[in-house]
Structure 1
Amino acid sequence: MLALALTAELNGVTDLRPNDSAENAFYYTFKVQCTSCREIHPNFVTMSRFETHELSGSRGEANFVWRCKNCKREHSATIKAAPASYPQTEPPKTQNILEFDCRGLEFTEFRADGEWLATGVESGTKFSGIDLVEDEWFDYDEKAGEEVSITGVKWEVRRA
């Protein structure tokens, strides 16, 4: 089992999470490495928890199926559950937000493509369309009358 862990400084917002629903699937973007031959796929790959692909030999399905071009082995990964939201903590704490059951592969790097959501701490304002590609985000909470931000974003793929 692998997990995607997040550490970030949330100012004025809490419950940071990907906008990931059946109507609006979030595509998680990773660099992938074969655990058999250690070959790293040259491109980033994406997967959604709402899409499944058949494993060859009718062994079931997975959210991501990949055949390594170097050793020709087929590998897979399945997202175990909906992503957890990341709460505001002082100081920021590392928390797993997504878990994967990986067979024959490891995710080595995460890229925060896609839309993220958060909630205003004081006001309850719903923030959508948050872009974390640059590892930071700034906005203004009209109800609270103050700037809100997400900074110091660090992603880590680690053993769950």
Structure 2
Amino acid sequence: MLSLVLTADLQGVTELRPKDTEEDPYYYTFKVLCSSCREEHPNWVSFTRYEKHDIPGSRGEANFVWKCKLCGKTHSASISAGPNAYEATENNRSKGQKVVEFDCRGLEFTQFKPDGEWEAKGAETSTAFTGIDLTEGEWYDYDEKASEEVSIKDINWEVKNVK
């Protein structure tokens, strides 16, 4: 099991999460590594939690199925939990919070790219913030109800093994 863990400094917003609905799915984008031969795929790969693909030679399905070009083995991954909202707390800033968990078979995700839209709520006002772009590593806006700037800064993504 792997988890995508986020640490960030949220000012004036909370409940940061990818915009991920069946009608408008979020595409999780990663660099992927074969656990057998340790070859990393040269391109970024993307998949949603709503897609299901048959695993060759198996009766199972997974959100992401990949055949390593170097060793020829087929690997898979499925989202097993999440997406979870990232809450603005002091503890999350120091330890991070799991956004999504994956059940990976024969592969590892090594890097995450936050392509796609994210959403959050005003911490004091519950103002909805949509269309948040985290690709630049920070985001700024203004909460009219609170009459103050809101931001997401010091964003760090880690893919960690879950015990």
Tell me by how many angstroms 1:59 deviates. 2.4
> What SS is found at the alignment partner of 2:81?
coil
CA RMSD of aligned residues (A): 0.8
Displacement, 1:76? 0.1
Partner deviation per Cα, 1:127-155 (whole Å, 9 max, x = no partner): 00000001100000001100000000000
Identity %, equivalent residues: 61
1:155 partner amino acid:
W
Query: Distance in 2 between the 1:38 and 1:81 partners?
Result: 26
Q: TM-score, normalised by structure 1?
A: 0.98
- Of the three residues 117, 120, 132, the one matched with 1:118 is 120
The answer to whether residue 136 in structure 2 is matched with residue 134 in structure 1 is: yes
Give per-residue Cα distances to partners, 1:5-47, cap 9 Å, x unaligned. Answer: 0000000000000000111100000000000000000000001
Query: Tell me, which stretches of 5 or more residues in structure 2 are unaligned?
Result: none
TM-score (norm 2): 0.96
Q: Tell me, in whole angstroms, the C-alpha distance in 2 between the residues paired with 1:134 and 1:95.
A: 20
Q: Deviations over 1:85-143 (max 9, x none)?
A: 00001261311110000000000000000000000011110000000001100000001
Match of 2:82 in 1: 82
Instruction: For structure 1, list consecutive stretches of 5 or more residues without a partner in the other structure.
Output: none
What code does the residue aligned with 1:104 have?
G
Deviation above 3 Å: which 4+ runs of structure 1? none
Query: Equivalences for 1:1-150 in 2 at 5 Å?
Result: 1-90=1-90, 92-93=93-94, 94-150=96-152
The one-letter amino acid of 2:106's match is: G
Q: What is the alpha-carbon distance in structure 2 between the residues aligned to residue 123 and residue 158 of structure 1?
A: 33
In structure 2, distance between residues paired with 1:13 and 1:157? 24
